Homo-oligomer: A and B are copies of this chain.
Amino acid sequence: MTAQRHAVVLLSGGLDSATVLAIAGDDGFTLHALTFDYGQRHRHELDCAATVAKASGAVHHVLKLDHAAFRGSALTDGPEVPVDRSEDAMSDGIPVTYVPARNTIMLSHALGYAEHVGSRDIFVGVNAVDYSGYPDCRPAFIEAFQSLANLATKAGVEGDSFRVHAPLQHMNKSEIIQRGCALGVDYGLTSTCYQPAADGTPCMRCDACALRARGFREAGVIDPLIGHQTAGEQD
């Protein structure tokens, strides 16, 4: 059998998921990128997801979810994300940006979509290095979700098993960036900031911007997004 294999890739428009999409493509999968529109405040991400999907040749699906689907997080509630870049805030405990059951919800929808399109391979950009504080980024969670997928579905029960791929799982940000660069990812198309300006300009103050900046610095690569931004500022 040399039938074409299909992969469903969770694509947020951020750096990590753009890299995962490139990895799945490099693995030879026909790509289906799945993005959630849940009324996120950083809506610039949705435009980035569309651009990244198009650049990769992926079929792009945007699934609308009720804003209330993701609750109790600084990312979706309230006027502004608390900013605390101290080492303690970034490495200890569960971050304020934790969203209850976020990855479980997203993977569940990816599972339904994958079964529908005949894909048995789901790719997700979690990593357990930079995001060790999030319970649903840990390897044990990914393994448990894969087991659940094979109990929960017609395909799984019939022995046509699902695999949940988390290729960034053991990479830190600079390793992710290096891998993506090797695969030709244009990180200038991505968005990372928790509270960008209306035109997508990153704030350079939030945790996400700080992690991204450190990642590029450690990878020895210039962030094309900042290059773009700097050029813009000179106008």
Q: Given A66-B63, A112-B70, A144-B148, is A154 in contact with B98 using a C-beta cutoff of 8 Å?
A: yes
In the bound complex, do residue A151 and residue B141 qualify as a contact, i.e. CB atoms below 8 Å apart?
A: yes
Q: State which of A79-87, A100-108, A173-181, A196-204 sits at the interface with chain B.
A: A100-108
Q: Which residues of A contact B (CB under 8 A)?
A: 61, 63-66, 68-72, 94, 98-105, 107-109, 111-113, 115-116, 135-136, 138, 140-141, 144-145, 147-149, 151-154, 156-157
Number of copies: 2
The 7 closest A-B pairs by CB, nearest first: A101-B112, A100-B115, A71-B116, A108-B108, A101-B111, A100-B112, A105-B108
Which residues from B are CB-within-8-Å of A107? 108
Given contacts A69-B112, A104-B148, A136-B152, 15 further A-B contacts (CB under 8 A): A64-B64, A64-B66, A69-B109, A100-B111, A101-B112, A104-B108, A104-B112, A105-B105, A138-B151, A140-B151, A141-B151, A144-B147, A144-B151, A144-B152, A145-B152
* Identity of the chain B residue whose Cβ is nearest the Cβ of A136 in the assembled complex: B152
Q: Which of B72, B149, B152 contacts A115 (CB 8 A)?
A: B72
Given A65-B65, A151-B141: A105 and B100 interface contact (C-beta under 8 Å): no
Taking CB as reference atom, which chain B residue is nearest A141?
B151
CA distance A151 to B146 in the complex (A): 13
Q: Which of A69, A112, A141, A147 has the most CB of B within 10 A?
A: A112
Q: Knowing A141-B148, A144-B148, A148-B148 touch, does A100 contact B154 (C-beta < 8 A)?
A: yes
